[in-house]
Structure 1
Amino acid sequence: MTGKSLSGTTAVAVAGILVAFLMAAGCLGGQSSDTPGSQQITVTGSTTVLPIAEKAREAFEESHASTGIMVSGGGSSVGVKAAGEGTADIGTSSRDLKPEETAGYPDLVKHHIADDAILLIVNPGNAVDRLALDEVRGIYNGTYTNWNQVGGPDAQIVVVGRDSASGTREFFSEYVLKNEDFVKTQEEFNSNGGIQQKISQTPGAIGYVGLGYTEGVKALALDVNGTAVEPTLEKITSKQYPISRPLFMLTNGEPDGLARQYLDFVMSGEGQQIVASLDYIPVQG
Protein backbone atom coordinates (compact mmCIF):
# COMPACT_ATOMS: atom_id res chain seq x y z
CA MET A 1 0.00 0.00 0.00
CA THR A 2 2.86 2.35 0.78
CA GLY A 3 4.46 1.48 -2.57
CA LYS A 4 1.23 2.32 -4.47
CA SER A 5 1.02 5.70 -2.67
CA LEU A 6 4.60 6.66 -3.57
CA SER A 7 4.05 5.61 -7.18
CA GLY A 8 0.92 7.82 -7.42
CA THR A 9 2.74 10.77 -5.94
CA THR A 10 5.58 10.36 -8.41
CA ALA A 11 3.16 10.18 -11.32
CA VAL A 12 1.41 13.38 -10.21
CA ALA A 13 4.76 15.16 -9.84
CA VAL A 14 5.89 14.09 -13.29
CA ALA A 15 2.59 15.17 -14.80
CA GLY A 16 2.87 18.55 -13.09
CA ILE A 17 6.36 19.09 -14.45
CA LEU A 18 5.18 18.13 -17.94
CA VAL A 19 2.23 20.57 -17.79
CA ALA A 20 4.51 23.37 -16.59
CA PHE A 21 6.95 22.65 -19.41
CA LEU A 22 4.20 22.63 -22.04
CA MET A 23 2.76 25.90 -20.73
CA ALA A 24 6.18 27.50 -20.80
CA ALA A 25 6.58 26.35 -24.38
CA GLY A 26 3.18 27.82 -25.28
CA CYS A 27 1.68 24.43 -26.17
CA LEU A 28 -1.31 24.66 -23.84
CA GLY A 29 -2.56 28.11 -24.85
CA GLY A 30 -0.71 30.03 -22.13
CA GLN A 31 0.31 33.62 -23.04
CA SER A 32 3.95 33.79 -24.04
CA SER A 33 6.13 36.89 -23.82
CA ASP A 34 5.72 37.26 -27.61
CA THR A 35 1.98 37.80 -27.30
CA PRO A 36 1.28 41.53 -27.89
CA GLY A 37 -1.09 41.72 -24.94
CA SER A 38 1.61 40.61 -22.53
CA GLN A 39 4.25 43.12 -23.67
CA GLN A 40 5.76 45.77 -21.45
CA ILE A 41 7.93 48.76 -22.33
CA THR A 42 9.71 51.48 -20.40
CA VAL A 43 9.74 55.19 -21.26
CA THR A 44 12.16 57.46 -19.39
CA GLY A 45 13.95 60.80 -19.54
CA SER A 46 12.88 64.44 -19.79
CA THR A 47 10.55 65.78 -17.10
CA THR A 48 9.30 68.26 -19.69
CA VAL A 49 8.06 65.39 -21.86
CA LEU A 50 6.88 63.43 -18.81
CA PRO A 51 3.29 64.82 -18.70
CA ILE A 52 2.79 63.94 -22.38
CA ALA A 53 4.24 60.44 -21.95
CA GLU A 54 2.13 59.78 -18.85
CA LYS A 55 -1.18 61.06 -20.25
CA ALA A 56 -0.58 59.18 -23.49
CA ARG A 57 0.11 56.03 -21.47
CA GLU A 58 -3.18 56.39 -19.58
CA ALA A 59 -5.19 56.84 -22.78
CA PHE A 60 -3.34 54.09 -24.65
CA GLU A 61 -3.85 51.54 -21.88
CA GLU A 62 -7.61 52.20 -21.85
CA SER A 63 -7.83 50.44 -25.22
CA HIS A 64 -4.85 48.10 -24.62
CA ALA A 65 -5.71 46.92 -21.14
CA SER A 66 -3.23 44.02 -20.90
CA THR A 67 -0.19 46.07 -21.92
CA GLY A 68 2.21 47.71 -19.48
CA ILE A 69 4.02 51.00 -20.09
CA MET A 70 6.30 52.23 -17.32
CA VAL A 71 6.90 56.00 -17.52
CA SER A 72 9.48 57.93 -15.48
CA GLY A 73 11.57 61.12 -15.52
CA GLY A 74 15.19 61.77 -14.67
CA GLY A 75 16.21 64.32 -17.30
CA SER A 76 16.99 64.36 -21.02
CA SER A 77 20.52 63.01 -20.58
CA VAL A 78 19.05 60.03 -18.74
CA GLY A 79 16.59 59.46 -21.59
CA VAL A 80 19.25 59.62 -24.30
CA LYS A 81 21.54 57.21 -22.45
CA ALA A 82 18.72 54.79 -21.59
CA ALA A 83 17.53 54.58 -25.18
CA GLY A 84 21.08 54.38 -26.54
CA GLU A 85 22.15 51.62 -24.17
CA GLY A 86 18.89 49.70 -24.37
CA THR A 87 17.90 50.04 -20.70
CA ALA A 88 14.67 51.72 -21.84
CA ASP A 89 12.57 51.09 -24.94
CA ILE A 90 11.92 54.80 -25.44
CA GLY A 91 13.95 57.73 -24.18
CA THR A 92 12.54 61.26 -23.98
CA SER A 93 14.42 64.51 -24.49
CA SER A 94 13.65 68.22 -24.48
CA ARG A 95 16.79 69.02 -26.46
CA ASP A 96 18.53 67.80 -29.57
CA LEU A 97 21.28 65.20 -29.38
CA LYS A 98 24.81 66.35 -28.59
CA PRO A 99 27.55 65.42 -31.09
CA GLU A 100 29.07 62.96 -28.63
CA GLU A 101 25.68 61.28 -28.13
CA THR A 102 25.16 60.95 -31.87
CA ALA A 103 28.63 59.42 -32.15
CA GLY A 104 28.15 57.13 -29.15
CA TYR A 105 24.66 55.98 -30.09
CA PRO A 106 24.61 56.06 -33.92
CA ASP A 107 21.39 54.04 -34.19
CA LEU A 108 19.23 56.46 -32.18
CA VAL A 109 16.13 57.57 -34.06
CA LYS A 110 14.47 60.87 -33.11
CA HIS A 111 10.67 61.12 -33.13
CA HIS A 112 9.55 64.78 -33.00
CA ILE A 113 6.36 64.54 -30.95
CA ALA A 114 5.65 68.15 -29.89
CA ASP A 115 7.04 71.64 -29.52
CA ASP A 116 7.49 73.52 -26.27
CA ALA A 117 8.59 76.89 -24.93
CA ILE A 118 10.66 77.74 -21.88
CA LEU A 119 8.85 80.11 -19.57
CA LEU A 120 10.39 82.40 -16.97
CA ILE A 121 8.27 82.13 -13.84
CA VAL A 122 8.10 84.13 -10.62
CA ASN A 123 5.95 84.09 -7.51
CA PRO A 124 2.47 85.57 -8.16
CA GLY A 125 3.23 88.28 -5.59
CA ASN A 126 6.16 89.62 -7.60
CA ALA A 127 5.36 92.99 -9.26
CA VAL A 128 7.65 92.31 -12.25
CA ASP A 129 5.66 91.31 -15.35
CA ARG A 130 8.30 91.36 -18.10
CA LEU A 131 12.04 91.01 -18.60
CA ALA A 132 14.37 91.40 -21.55
CA LEU A 133 16.56 88.43 -22.42
CA ASP A 134 19.62 90.47 -21.43
CA GLU A 135 18.07 90.99 -17.98
CA VAL A 136 17.35 87.27 -17.68
CA ARG A 137 20.96 86.53 -18.62
CA GLY A 138 22.14 89.06 -16.04
CA ILE A 139 20.07 87.40 -13.33
CA TYR A 140 21.37 83.92 -14.14
CA ASN A 141 25.03 84.92 -14.48
CA GLY A 142 24.95 86.91 -11.23
CA THR A 143 25.12 90.47 -12.63
CA TYR A 144 21.74 91.32 -11.10
CA THR A 145 21.09 90.19 -7.53
CA ASN A 146 18.21 92.47 -6.48
CA TRP A 147 14.84 92.85 -8.14
CA ASN A 148 15.17 96.67 -8.05
CA GLN A 149 17.92 96.33 -10.68
CA VAL A 150 15.36 95.07 -13.21
CA GLY A 151 12.40 97.28 -12.34
CA GLY A 152 11.09 95.39 -9.34
CA PRO A 153 10.98 95.82 -5.56
CA ASP A 154 13.97 96.04 -3.23
CA ALA A 155 14.28 92.29 -2.64
CA GLN A 156 16.97 89.69 -3.17
CA ILE A 157 16.61 87.57 -6.30
CA VAL A 158 16.52 83.84 -5.51
CA VAL A 159 17.84 82.13 -8.65
CA VAL A 160 16.37 78.69 -9.34
CA GLY A 161 17.29 76.33 -12.17
CA ARG A 162 17.61 72.73 -13.30
CA ASP A 163 20.37 70.21 -12.64
CA SER A 164 23.03 69.16 -15.14
CA ALA A 165 21.02 66.19 -16.51
CA SER A 166 18.26 68.49 -17.74
CA GLY A 167 17.66 69.19 -21.42
CA THR A 168 15.79 72.33 -20.40
CA ARG A 169 18.93 73.55 -18.68
CA GLU A 170 21.05 72.72 -21.75
CA PHE A 171 18.75 74.70 -24.02
CA PHE A 172 18.47 77.59 -21.56
CA SER A 173 22.25 77.71 -21.14
CA GLU A 174 22.87 77.86 -24.88
CA TYR A 175 20.03 80.14 -25.94
CA VAL A 176 19.66 82.54 -23.00
CA LEU A 177 22.93 82.39 -21.07
CA LYS A 178 25.11 82.08 -24.22
CA ASN A 179 27.02 79.32 -22.40
CA GLU A 180 28.18 81.64 -19.61
CA ASP A 181 28.48 80.12 -16.14
CA PHE A 182 25.39 80.02 -13.96
CA VAL A 183 25.60 82.08 -10.78
CA LYS A 184 27.01 79.91 -7.98
CA THR A 185 24.06 80.65 -5.68
CA GLN A 186 21.58 79.05 -8.09
CA GLU A 187 19.37 76.43 -6.41
CA GLU A 188 19.11 73.36 -8.64
CA PHE A 189 16.19 70.96 -9.01
CA ASN A 190 15.89 67.74 -10.99
CA SER A 191 12.40 68.43 -12.33
CA ASN A 192 10.14 71.16 -13.67
CA GLY A 193 7.72 70.34 -10.88
CA GLY A 194 10.37 70.99 -8.24
CA ILE A 195 11.07 74.44 -9.66
CA GLN A 196 7.36 75.20 -9.94
CA GLN A 197 6.82 74.33 -6.28
CA LYS A 198 9.85 76.35 -5.14
CA ILE A 199 8.73 79.46 -7.04
CA SER A 200 5.16 79.19 -5.76
CA GLN A 201 6.45 79.20 -2.18
CA THR A 202 9.27 81.78 -2.48
CA PRO A 203 8.40 85.47 -3.04
CA GLY A 204 11.79 86.51 -4.47
CA ALA A 205 12.45 83.49 -6.67
CA ILE A 206 12.72 83.16 -10.44
CA GLY A 207 12.93 79.93 -12.41
CA TYR A 208 12.45 78.46 -15.88
CA VAL A 209 10.09 75.62 -16.81
CA GLY A 210 8.30 74.00 -19.73
CA LEU A 211 4.83 75.08 -20.84
CA GLY A 212 2.96 72.56 -18.72
CA TYR A 213 4.13 73.94 -15.35
CA THR A 214 2.37 77.26 -14.69
CA GLU A 215 -0.10 76.45 -11.91
CA GLY A 216 0.49 78.59 -8.82
CA VAL A 217 3.17 80.77 -10.46
CA LYS A 218 3.30 83.79 -12.80
CA ALA A 219 4.80 83.47 -16.27
CA LEU A 220 6.70 86.56 -17.40
CA ALA A 221 6.44 88.25 -20.77
CA LEU A 222 9.70 88.76 -22.64
CA ASP A 223 10.63 92.20 -23.89
CA VAL A 224 11.35 91.84 -27.62
CA ASN A 225 12.43 95.12 -29.24
CA GLY A 226 10.39 97.09 -26.74
CA THR A 227 7.27 94.93 -27.04
CA ALA A 228 6.11 92.64 -24.24
CA VAL A 229 5.54 89.21 -25.76
CA GLU A 230 3.57 86.88 -23.52
CA PRO A 231 4.11 83.11 -23.75
CA THR A 232 0.71 82.28 -25.28
CA LEU A 233 0.31 79.32 -27.63
CA GLU A 234 -0.46 81.70 -30.49
CA LYS A 235 2.72 83.74 -29.98
CA ILE A 236 4.85 80.64 -29.40
CA THR A 237 3.51 78.93 -32.55
CA SER A 238 4.06 82.08 -34.62
CA LYS A 239 7.65 82.31 -33.25
CA GLN A 240 6.99 85.75 -31.71
CA TYR A 241 7.89 84.32 -28.32
CA PRO A 242 11.61 83.65 -28.69
CA ILE A 243 12.39 80.69 -26.42
CA SER A 244 10.90 77.59 -28.07
CA ARG A 245 12.23 74.11 -28.86
CA PRO A 246 11.25 70.65 -30.15
CA LEU A 247 10.48 67.67 -27.89
CA PHE A 248 11.58 64.15 -28.82
CA MET A 249 11.00 60.50 -28.10
CA LEU A 250 14.04 58.38 -28.96
CA THR A 251 14.42 54.75 -29.98
CA ASN A 252 17.48 52.63 -30.69
CA GLY A 253 16.71 51.91 -34.33
CA GLU A 254 13.22 51.91 -35.78
CA PRO A 255 10.74 50.78 -33.11
CA ASP A 256 8.53 47.73 -33.37
CA GLY A 257 5.91 45.95 -31.29
CA LEU A 258 4.41 47.85 -28.39
CA ALA A 259 6.93 50.70 -28.68
CA ARG A 260 5.81 51.26 -32.28
CA GLN A 261 2.14 51.16 -31.27
CA TYR A 262 2.67 53.63 -28.43
CA LEU A 263 4.64 56.07 -30.62
CA ASP A 264 2.01 55.82 -33.34
CA PHE A 265 -0.62 56.68 -30.73
CA VAL A 266 1.34 59.73 -29.53
CA MET A 267 1.50 60.97 -33.13
CA SER A 268 -2.15 60.17 -33.86
CA GLY A 269 -4.98 62.68 -33.73
CA GLU A 270 -5.90 61.57 -30.22
CA GLY A 271 -2.28 61.68 -29.05
CA GLN A 272 -1.74 65.16 -30.44
CA GLN A 273 -4.95 66.31 -28.74
CA ILE A 274 -3.34 65.16 -25.48
CA VAL A 275 -0.29 67.28 -26.38
CA ALA A 276 -2.53 70.32 -26.88
CA SER A 277 -4.56 69.64 -23.72
CA LEU A 278 -1.34 69.85 -21.68
CA ASP A 279 -0.52 73.25 -23.24
CA TYR A 280 2.22 71.94 -25.48
CA ILE A 281 2.22 72.49 -29.23
CA PRO A 282 1.12 69.63 -31.53
CA VAL A 283 3.29 68.85 -34.55
CA GLN A 284 0.55 66.95 -36.43
CA GLY A 285 -2.71 68.54 -37.52
Structure 2
Amino acid sequence: MTISADDSFQSVTTALAEGYMIAYPDAKIEVKNTKEDIAFLNLLNKKSNIIVMSRDLSAKEIAEYEKQIDLPFQPAKFAADAVLFVVPKESSLNSISYEDIQKELLSEDKKLIFDGTNSSNLNFVAQKFGKLPSSLNYSIISGNQNVVEQLSKYQDKIGVVSLNTFSRPYSKEAEALRAKVKVLAIEKNGKTYEPNAENLRNMTYPFTRVLYFLTSDGTFGMANGFIRYSCTQLGQIVVAKEGLQKFNLYSREVQMY
Protein backbone atom coordinates (compact mmCIF):
# COMPACT_ATOMS: atom_id res chain seq x y z
CA MET A 1 0.00 0.00 0.00
CA THR A 2 1.18 3.52 -0.80
CA ILE A 3 0.51 6.61 1.31
CA SER A 4 1.23 10.05 -0.16
CA ALA A 5 2.14 12.60 2.52
CA ASP A 6 3.52 16.11 2.34
CA ASP A 7 7.02 16.65 3.74
CA SER A 8 5.43 18.70 6.53
CA PHE A 9 3.81 15.68 8.15
CA GLN A 10 5.78 12.79 6.72
CA SER A 11 7.30 11.99 10.11
CA VAL A 12 4.02 11.24 11.87
CA THR A 13 2.72 9.37 8.81
CA THR A 14 5.85 7.18 8.67
CA ALA A 15 5.64 6.52 12.43
CA LEU A 16 2.02 5.37 12.07
CA ALA A 17 2.93 3.17 9.09
CA GLU A 18 5.78 1.57 11.05
CA GLY A 19 3.50 1.00 14.03
CA TYR A 20 0.90 -0.67 11.83
CA MET A 21 3.50 -2.93 10.19
CA ILE A 22 4.74 -4.02 13.63
CA ALA A 23 1.18 -4.88 14.62
CA TYR A 24 0.53 -6.59 11.27
CA PRO A 25 3.84 -8.02 9.96
CA ASP A 26 2.36 -9.11 6.62
CA ALA A 27 1.44 -5.51 5.77
CA LYS A 28 3.81 -3.53 3.53
CA ILE A 29 3.36 0.24 3.47
CA GLU A 30 5.38 2.79 1.53
CA VAL A 31 5.14 6.47 2.51
CA LYS A 32 5.91 8.75 -0.44
CA ASN A 33 6.96 12.36 0.07
CA THR A 34 4.45 14.22 -2.13
CA LYS A 35 3.33 17.85 -2.15
CA GLU A 36 -0.20 18.16 -0.78
CA ASP A 37 -1.88 19.26 -4.02
CA ILE A 38 -0.09 16.56 -6.02
CA ALA A 39 -1.08 13.95 -3.43
CA PHE A 40 -4.75 14.85 -3.92
CA LEU A 41 -4.40 14.45 -7.69
CA ASN A 42 -2.67 11.08 -7.14
CA LEU A 43 -5.62 9.95 -5.06
CA LEU A 44 -8.12 10.99 -7.73
CA ASN A 45 -6.06 9.09 -10.31
CA LYS A 46 -5.82 6.13 -7.90
CA LYS A 47 -2.03 6.25 -7.81
CA SER A 48 -2.16 6.30 -4.00
CA ASN A 49 -4.30 4.25 -1.64
CA ILE A 50 -4.26 6.91 1.08
CA ILE A 51 -3.22 10.55 1.31
CA VAL A 52 -2.76 12.93 4.23
CA MET A 53 -4.33 16.39 4.00
CA SER A 54 -4.37 19.47 6.24
CA ARG A 55 -6.29 22.11 4.34
CA ASP A 56 -10.04 22.15 3.76
CA LEU A 57 -11.12 20.94 0.34
CA SER A 58 -13.31 23.21 -1.74
CA ALA A 59 -16.85 22.15 -2.67
CA LYS A 60 -15.59 21.51 -6.21
CA GLU A 61 -12.75 19.28 -4.93
CA ILE A 62 -15.13 17.31 -2.70
CA ALA A 63 -17.50 16.80 -5.63
CA GLU A 64 -14.62 15.61 -7.81
CA TYR A 65 -13.46 13.22 -5.08
CA GLU A 66 -16.94 11.71 -4.75
CA LYS A 67 -17.23 11.45 -8.55
CA GLN A 68 -13.80 9.91 -9.24
CA ILE A 69 -13.52 7.71 -6.16
CA ASP A 70 -17.23 6.93 -5.89
CA LEU A 71 -17.16 7.24 -2.10
CA PRO A 72 -18.71 9.79 0.26
CA PHE A 73 -16.26 12.40 1.52
CA GLN A 74 -15.37 11.21 5.01
CA PRO A 75 -12.08 12.69 6.28
CA ALA A 76 -10.49 10.55 9.00
CA LYS A 77 -9.02 13.11 11.41
CA PHE A 78 -6.10 11.85 13.49
CA ALA A 79 -3.85 14.67 14.75
CA ALA A 80 -3.49 18.40 15.34
CA ASP A 81 -0.34 19.88 13.84
CA ALA A 82 0.59 23.55 13.43
CA VAL A 83 2.29 25.88 11.00
CA LEU A 84 5.17 27.64 12.77
CA PHE A 85 6.94 30.89 12.02
CA VAL A 86 10.61 30.63 12.98
CA VAL A 87 13.63 32.93 12.98
CA PRO A 88 17.36 32.35 13.52
CA LYS A 89 18.24 31.72 17.17
CA GLU A 90 20.14 35.02 17.39
CA SER A 91 17.15 37.11 16.24
CA SER A 92 15.71 39.68 18.64
CA LEU A 93 12.20 38.93 17.34
CA ASN A 94 10.03 36.93 19.75
CA SER A 95 6.56 37.29 18.25
CA ILE A 96 4.71 38.41 15.14
CA SER A 97 1.14 39.57 14.72
CA TYR A 98 -1.43 37.79 12.58
CA GLU A 99 -1.90 41.03 10.64
CA ASP A 100 1.84 41.43 10.00
CA ILE A 101 2.01 37.92 8.54
CA GLN A 102 -0.74 38.88 6.11
CA LYS A 103 1.11 42.08 5.19
CA GLU A 104 4.34 40.17 4.55
CA LEU A 105 2.52 37.79 2.21
CA LEU A 106 1.54 40.77 0.06
CA SER A 107 4.90 42.54 0.30
CA GLU A 108 7.52 42.54 -2.46
CA ASP A 109 10.17 41.89 0.21
CA LYS A 110 9.31 38.16 0.23
CA LYS A 111 10.34 37.97 3.86
CA LEU A 112 8.56 34.67 4.55
CA ILE A 113 10.30 31.48 3.41
CA PHE A 114 8.10 28.49 2.59
CA ASP A 115 9.19 24.95 1.72
CA GLY A 116 7.83 25.11 -1.84
CA THR A 117 4.79 25.63 -4.04
CA ASN A 118 1.85 23.19 -3.73
CA SER A 119 3.00 22.49 -0.18
CA SER A 120 0.69 22.04 2.80
CA ASN A 121 2.22 24.97 4.72
CA LEU A 122 1.64 27.43 1.88
CA ASN A 123 -1.83 26.05 1.13
CA PHE A 124 -2.93 26.27 4.75
CA VAL A 125 -1.65 29.79 5.38
CA ALA A 126 -3.15 31.03 2.11
CA GLN A 127 -6.49 29.48 3.01
CA LYS A 128 -6.36 31.10 6.47
CA PHE A 129 -6.22 34.52 4.83
CA GLY A 130 -8.73 33.68 2.12
CA LYS A 131 -6.12 33.96 -0.63
CA LEU A 132 -4.91 31.80 -3.49
CA PRO A 133 -1.27 30.71 -3.07
CA SER A 134 -0.50 32.16 -6.50
CA SER A 135 -1.48 35.65 -5.28
CA LEU A 136 1.07 35.67 -2.43
CA ASN A 137 4.70 36.80 -2.33
CA TYR A 138 7.23 34.59 -0.58
CA SER A 139 10.66 32.98 -0.86
CA ILE A 140 11.35 29.25 -1.19
CA ILE A 141 13.85 26.81 0.28
CA SER A 142 12.83 23.28 -0.68
CA GLY A 143 11.86 21.10 2.31
CA ASN A 144 10.95 21.96 5.91
CA GLN A 145 14.22 20.67 7.32
CA ASN A 146 16.23 22.68 4.81
CA VAL A 147 14.33 25.84 5.77
CA VAL A 148 15.37 25.30 9.40
CA GLU A 149 18.98 24.39 8.58
CA GLN A 150 19.57 27.27 6.16
CA LEU A 151 17.62 30.04 7.88
CA SER A 152 20.72 31.37 9.66
CA LYS A 153 21.98 32.57 6.26
CA TYR A 154 19.00 34.90 6.01
CA GLN A 155 18.87 36.85 9.26
CA ASP A 156 16.09 39.16 8.07
CA LYS A 157 13.78 36.32 6.95
CA ILE A 158 11.13 34.23 8.70
CA GLY A 159 10.84 30.53 7.96
CA VAL A 160 7.45 28.83 7.73
CA VAL A 161 7.57 25.15 8.73
CA SER A 162 5.39 22.47 10.25
CA LEU A 163 5.48 21.61 13.94
CA ASN A 164 6.04 17.96 12.97
CA THR A 165 9.37 18.97 11.38
CA PHE A 166 10.96 18.90 14.84
CA SER A 167 8.18 17.99 17.29
CA ARG A 168 9.52 14.54 18.24
CA PRO A 169 10.55 15.01 21.89
CA TYR A 170 12.92 12.01 22.05
CA SER A 171 14.67 12.46 18.68
CA LYS A 172 18.24 13.80 18.68
CA GLU A 173 17.76 14.94 15.08
CA ALA A 174 14.62 16.89 16.04
CA GLU A 175 16.42 18.34 19.07
CA ALA A 176 19.26 19.56 16.83
CA LEU A 177 16.76 21.23 14.49
CA ARG A 178 14.93 22.90 17.40
CA ALA A 179 18.23 24.32 18.61
CA LYS A 180 18.77 26.16 15.31
CA VAL A 181 15.69 28.38 15.41
CA LYS A 182 13.37 30.36 17.64
CA VAL A 183 9.62 29.77 17.29
CA LEU A 184 7.65 33.00 17.19
CA ALA A 185 4.50 33.46 19.25
CA ILE A 186 1.50 34.75 17.27
CA GLU A 187 -0.33 37.90 18.37
CA LYS A 188 -4.02 38.05 17.48
CA ASN A 189 -6.87 40.14 18.89
CA GLY A 190 -4.72 41.45 21.72
CA LYS A 191 -3.57 38.01 22.87
CA THR A 192 -0.37 36.07 22.27
CA TYR A 193 -0.40 32.36 21.47
CA GLU A 194 2.40 29.81 21.39
CA PRO A 195 2.08 26.44 19.59
CA ASN A 196 2.02 24.42 22.82
CA ALA A 197 -0.09 21.36 23.61
CA GLU A 198 -2.87 23.31 25.30
CA ASN A 199 -3.25 25.80 22.47
CA LEU A 200 -3.26 23.00 19.89
CA ARG A 201 -5.81 21.04 21.90
CA ASN A 202 -8.08 24.08 22.21
CA MET A 203 -7.32 25.23 18.63
CA THR A 204 -6.46 28.68 20.00
CA TYR A 205 -3.04 28.90 18.32
CA PRO A 206 -4.11 30.69 15.11
CA PHE A 207 -2.31 28.31 12.76
CA THR A 208 -3.40 25.02 14.30
CA ARG A 209 -4.46 22.52 11.64
CA VAL A 210 -6.07 19.11 11.77
CA LEU A 211 -4.46 16.30 9.77
CA TYR A 212 -6.75 13.79 8.13
CA PHE A 213 -6.65 10.77 5.84
CA LEU A 214 -8.53 10.29 2.58
CA THR A 215 -8.63 6.93 0.82
CA SER A 216 -9.63 5.60 -2.58
CA ASP A 217 -10.46 2.20 -1.09
CA GLY A 218 -14.08 1.49 -0.25
CA THR A 219 -13.46 -2.04 1.03
CA PHE A 220 -12.48 -3.33 4.47
CA GLY A 221 -8.94 -3.90 3.22
CA MET A 222 -5.58 -2.69 4.47
CA ALA A 223 -6.15 0.99 3.68
CA ASN A 224 -9.16 1.30 5.95
CA GLY A 225 -7.51 -1.02 8.47
CA PHE A 226 -4.57 1.39 8.66
CA ILE A 227 -6.90 4.37 9.06
CA ARG A 228 -8.79 2.64 11.87
CA TYR A 229 -5.49 1.81 13.59
CA SER A 230 -4.31 5.43 13.31
CA CYS A 231 -7.50 6.82 14.81
CA THR A 232 -7.84 4.35 17.67
CA GLN A 233 -5.88 4.32 20.92
CA LEU A 234 -2.71 2.62 19.63
CA GLY A 235 -2.37 5.02 16.72
CA GLN A 236 -3.10 8.00 18.91
CA ILE A 237 -0.27 6.95 21.24
CA VAL A 238 2.04 7.12 18.20
CA VAL A 239 0.71 10.61 17.39
CA ALA A 240 1.47 11.74 20.96
CA LYS A 241 5.00 10.29 20.78
CA GLU A 242 5.51 12.38 17.64
CA GLY A 243 4.88 15.45 19.78
CA LEU A 244 1.55 16.28 18.12
CA GLN A 245 -1.88 16.64 19.69
CA LYS A 246 -4.06 13.53 19.49
CA PHE A 247 -7.37 14.14 17.74
CA ASN A 248 -9.20 11.27 19.41
CA LEU A 249 -8.96 11.26 23.21
CA TYR A 250 -9.51 8.02 25.10
CA SER A 251 -10.30 7.87 28.78
CA ARG A 252 -7.84 6.01 30.96
CA GLU A 253 -9.19 3.83 33.74
CA VAL A 254 -7.03 2.78 36.67
CA GLN A 255 -8.13 0.04 39.03
CA MET A 256 -6.60 0.08 42.51
CA TYR A 257 -6.74 -2.92 44.81
Which category describes the TM-score, using the shorter chain as reference length?
A: 0.7 to 0.9
Counterpart-to-counterpart distance in 2, 1:259 and 1:200: 41
2:244 maps to what in 1? 280
What's the CA shift string for 1:124-168, capped at 9, x where partnerless?
A: 11110011111112222216x4xxxxxxxxxxx743114332232
- The residue type equivalent to 2:124 in the other structure is F
Q: Which of 126, 134, 151 in structure 1 is aligned with 2:91?
A: 126
2:101 maps to what in 1? 136
Counterpart-to-counterpart distance in 2, 1:200 and 1:274: 32
Counterpart-to-counterpart distance in 1, 2:154 and 2:148: 10
- The residue type equivalent to 1:273 in the other structure is I
Counterpart-to-counterpart distance in 2, 1:177 and 1:159: 17
- The residue type equivalent to 1:225 in the other structure is N
Query: Do the aligned partners of residues 210 and 99 (structure 1) sit closer, same or farther apart at CA in structure 2, a change above 3 Å counting?
Result: same
Give the CA deviation at 1:82: 1.6
- The residue type equivalent to 1:116 in the other structure is D
Matching of residue 210 in structure 1 with residue 170 in structure 2: no
Q: Which of 190, 203, 212 in structure 2 is aligned with 1:248?
A: 212
| Count of aligned residue pairs for this structure pair | 231
Give the CA deviation at 1:55: 0.5
Larger RCO (CA under 8 A, 6+ residues apart)? 2
TM-score (norm. length: structure 1): 0.73
Instruction: For structure 2, list consecutive stretches of 5 or more residues without a partner in the other structure.
Output: 167-177, 250-257
Give the CA deviation at 1:240: 2.7
2:128 maps to what in 1? 175
Query: Do the aligned partners of residues 97 and 275 (structure 1) sit closer, same or farther apart at CA in structure 2, a change above 3 Å counting?
Result: same
* Aligned-pair identity (%): 20
Q: Which of 141, 145, 153 in structure 2 is aligned with 1:193?
A: 145
Secondary structure, aligned partner of 1:112: strand
- The residue type equivalent to 1:49 in the other structure is F
1:82 maps to what in 2? 42
Contact 1:140 1:177 in 2 (8 A): no
Contact 1:74 1:165 in 2 (8 A): no
1:104 maps to what in 2? 64
Give the CA deviation at 1:201: 4.8
2:114 maps to what in 1? 161
Counterpart-to-counterpart distance in 2, 1:179 and 1:74: 20
Question: For the aligned residues, what is the CA RMSD?
Answer: 2.2
Instruction: For structure 1, list consecutive stretches of 5 or more residues without a partner in the other structure.
Output: 1-40, 146-156
1:73 maps to what in 2? 33
